[in-house]
């Protein structure tokens, strides 16, 4: 192994005791070499000389042989202390105070003085004092005044030097520690920068891939129009589906600073504003836009049927889902309108209505006949039925009546769609009518373990309307509330007067309805997702019929629900029906 390679194994950042001892070893070797020269005087005191060399050798061997990594750092100070004693004896053996080798004191002295801690400066100064004073004590030759002065003056100088060296070493250590910490921090920052750069490159590649994917998806959406607006309704997003549906390119739509309401029927917007209770004499564009986004501003997604108007005047029936448009901080910066062309769906619905009406008419006659013959069998006194036969007959009658009610509902909805269903108006006291509905539903609620309650005002609430149809509406709401409320829940029916309106509210503590589905509840055959998940029976006609009856009386229906909490459906009926409402419902 070469000297360079051997020295390369020595750590200079944190020197070992052996590295610190090397100058002393070299100093002793040079001194011994000089003594061995023919022209040099031989040691005057061979014993002291020999002991000094042995101690120096012992200190050097210990500095190399001991496992200093496992020994506390403070104990390494013993090596220079022993070396300092060795120098003192070496000096005594080579002439005492006149020894030419006194400079060797500096080597262990500097090591001790540079160690951390003020106590080491004291040790260095005290050790030097003893070494310099030893010749005066050990010799019998009378000391001169000059010897005494040197013996006491020199240690003072050494003490000052020791303090200075100790302070300088301390500051160098602090600076070195700070430099090492800074270097470590720079290394960490560099590693972080390299890692961040790698992440940036990777994320940039991912972003490009995601952008290409989004652009591909965006260009592929041609059957739904996606229109984005700012908070005021000005269009700034226009997809290929919107271009296909409305006949304008993206450049034409965005360059013209068009407003979303430019593509809506004004009559539909005004009708929606009236439903929102927006009592305005003149309708501005801001109020028209509120008709589209009022529910979205309240924090709900809104799905409604509208009619788009193309620039060429062609009307397109659409179902529009309106949602908020958020920035990276979650703040609303606009709205997104996703529209689906309902032209074919409307045609299918028309054909379905015709089919339902035809089938309902065809089913009603045989069902009536079946019920008639079942009644004849039950009342046949000449050939009475057994108890078991009567039980079977009862099951058949109940199912036939249920089927007949369903056929009646289908016929009624077909009449609603055609705008013609009969109403027989008369003065109706709503209290007894609602009480009858609650009483009829009592056994069903009791069997289901549901508490059914009703609250009525002290004064009677009388309106002009069709008692049969209004009773049918209340029956539908109470029946639905019981079906959608688990055992142990509560259904409450209340009647109140609000100005010139009667308000009938049915509240339950049931499974609730998702907010996004509230706008579709009055659609025929629509069933909430909570109903299908919980396997609640029904065909989705009750609310359709109820809304039609209430609308025919000039009233409105309001639905408030929270999934897992419950639902409240309120019917608002005018106490005095307008002439238009009477004509509309009775034509």
Rounded (5°) CA angle 75-77-80 = 140
* Cβ atoms of residues 542 and 480 within 8 Å: yes
For residue 537, pLDDT over 70 is answered with no
pLDDT band at residue 308 using 50, 70 and 90 as cut-offs: very high
Q: Is 333 helix (H, G, I), strand (E, B) or coil?
A: strand
Distance from C-alpha of 489 to C-alpha of 438, rounded to nearest angstrom: 16
* Mean pLDDT value of segment 293-317: 86
For residue 13, pLDDT over 70 is answered with no
pLDDT value of position 78: 85
What is the tens place of the pLDDT at every residue in 379-395?
777 777 778 877 877 77
Distance from C-alpha of 151 to C-alpha of 134, rounded to nearest angstrom: 9
* Mean pLDDT value of segment 399-422: 65
pLDDT value of position 586: 39
Q: How far is CA 102 from CA 84, 90, 98, 107, 568, in A?
A: 11, 9, 8, 10, 106
For residue 198, pLDDT over 80 is answered with yes
For residue 587, pLDDT over 50 is answered with no
pLDDT value of position 394: 76
Distance from C-alpha of 582 to C-alpha of 585, rounded to nearest angstrom: 5
> Could you give the dihedral angle defined by the CA atoms of residues 577, 583, 584 and 587, in that order, rounded to the nearest 10 degrees?
140
| Residue showing tokens 């004073």 | 133
Distance from C-alpha of 342 to C-alpha of 303, rounded to nearest angstrom: 13
For residue 106, pLDDT over 50 is answered with yes
What is the tens place of the pLDDT at every residue in 30-76?
888 888 888 777 888 888 888 888 888 888 888 888 887 788 777 88
Q: Indicate the pairing of strand 332-341 with strand 315-326.
A: antiparallel
Q: In which element (H, E) is residue 339 found?
A: strand 332-341
For residue 579, pLDDT over 50 is answered with no
pLDDT band at residue 7 using 50, 70 and 90 as cut-offs: very low
Q: Is 571 helix (H, G, I), strand (E, B) or coil?
A: strand
**According to the 3-state scheme, what is the secondary structure of 212-253?**
HHHHHHHHHCCCEEEEEEECCCEEEEECHHHHHHHCCCHHHH
């Amino acid at each position: 192994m070469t000297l360079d390679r051997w020295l390369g194994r020595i750590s200079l950042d944190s020197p070992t005791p052996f590295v610190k001892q090397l100058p002393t070893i070299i100093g002793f070797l040079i001194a011994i070499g000089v003594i061995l020269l023919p022209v040099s005087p031989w040691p005057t005191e061979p014993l002291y000389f020999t002991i000094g060399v042995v101690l120096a050798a012992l200190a050097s061997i210990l500095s190399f042989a001991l496992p200093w990594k496992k020994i506390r750092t403070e104990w390494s100070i013993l090596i220079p202390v022993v070396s300092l004693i060795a120098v003192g004896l070496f000096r005594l053996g080579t002439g005492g105070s006149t020894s030419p080798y006194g400079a060797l004191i500096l080597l262990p002295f500097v090591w001790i003085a540079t160690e951390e801690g003020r106590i080491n400066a004291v040790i260095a100064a005290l050790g030097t004092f003893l070494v310099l004073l030893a010749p005066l004590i050990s010799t019998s030759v009378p000391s001169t005044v000059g010897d005494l002065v040197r013996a006491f003056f020199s240690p003072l100088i050494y003490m000052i030097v020791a303090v200075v060296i100790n302070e300088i070493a301390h500051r160098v250590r602090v600076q070195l520690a700070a430099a090492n910490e800074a270097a470590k921090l720079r290394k960490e920052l560099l590693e972080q920068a390299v890692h961040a750069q790698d992440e940036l490159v990777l994320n940039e590649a991912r972003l490009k891939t995601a952008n290409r994917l989004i652009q591909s998806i965006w260009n592929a959406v041609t059957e739904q129009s996606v229109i984005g607006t700012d908070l005021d309704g000005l269009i700034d997003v226009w997809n290929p589906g919107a271009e296909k549906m409305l006949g304008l390119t993206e450049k034409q739509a965005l360059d013209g600073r068009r407003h979303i309401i430019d593509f809506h029927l004004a009559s539909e917007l005004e009708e929606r504003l009236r439903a929102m209770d927006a009592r305005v004499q003149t309708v501005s564009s801001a109020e028209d836009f509120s008709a589209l986004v009022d529910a979205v501003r309240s924090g709900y997604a809104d799905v409604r049927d509208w009619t788009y108007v193309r620039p060429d005047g062609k009307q397109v029936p659409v179902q529009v889902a309106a949602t908020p448009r958020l920035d990276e901080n979650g703040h609303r910066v606009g709205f997104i309108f996703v529209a689906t062309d309902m032209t074919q769906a409307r045609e299918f619905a028309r054909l379905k209505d015709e089919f339902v009406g035809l089938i309902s008419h065809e089913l009603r006659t045989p069902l009536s006949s079946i019920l008639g013959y079942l009644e004849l069998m039950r009342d046949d006194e000449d050939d009475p039925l057994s108890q078991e036969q009567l039980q079977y007959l009862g099951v058949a009658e109940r199912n036939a009546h249920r089927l007949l009610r369903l056929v009646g509902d289908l016929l009624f909805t077909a009449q609603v769609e055609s705008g013609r269903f009969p109403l027989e108006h008369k003065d109706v006291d709503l209290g007894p009518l609602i009480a009858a509905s609650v009483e009829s539903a009592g056994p069903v609620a009791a069997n289901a373990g549901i508490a059914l309650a009703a609250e009525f005002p002290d004064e009677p609430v009388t309106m002009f309307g069709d008692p049969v149809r209004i009773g049918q509406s209340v029956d539908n709401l109470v029946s639905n509330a019981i079906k959608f409320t688990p055992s142990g829940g509560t259904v409450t029916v209340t009647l109140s007067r609000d100005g010139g309106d009667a308000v009938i509210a049915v509240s339950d503590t049931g499974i609730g309805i998702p907010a996004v589905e509230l706008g579709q509840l009055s659609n025929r055959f629509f069933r909430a997702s909570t109903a299908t998940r919980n396997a609640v029976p029904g065909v989705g006609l009750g609310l359709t019929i109820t809304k039609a009856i209430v609308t025919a009386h000039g009233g409105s229906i309001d639905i408030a629900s929270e999934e897992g909490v419950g639902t409240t459906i309120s019917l608002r009926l005018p106490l005095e029906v307008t002439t238009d409402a009477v004509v509309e419902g009775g034509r």
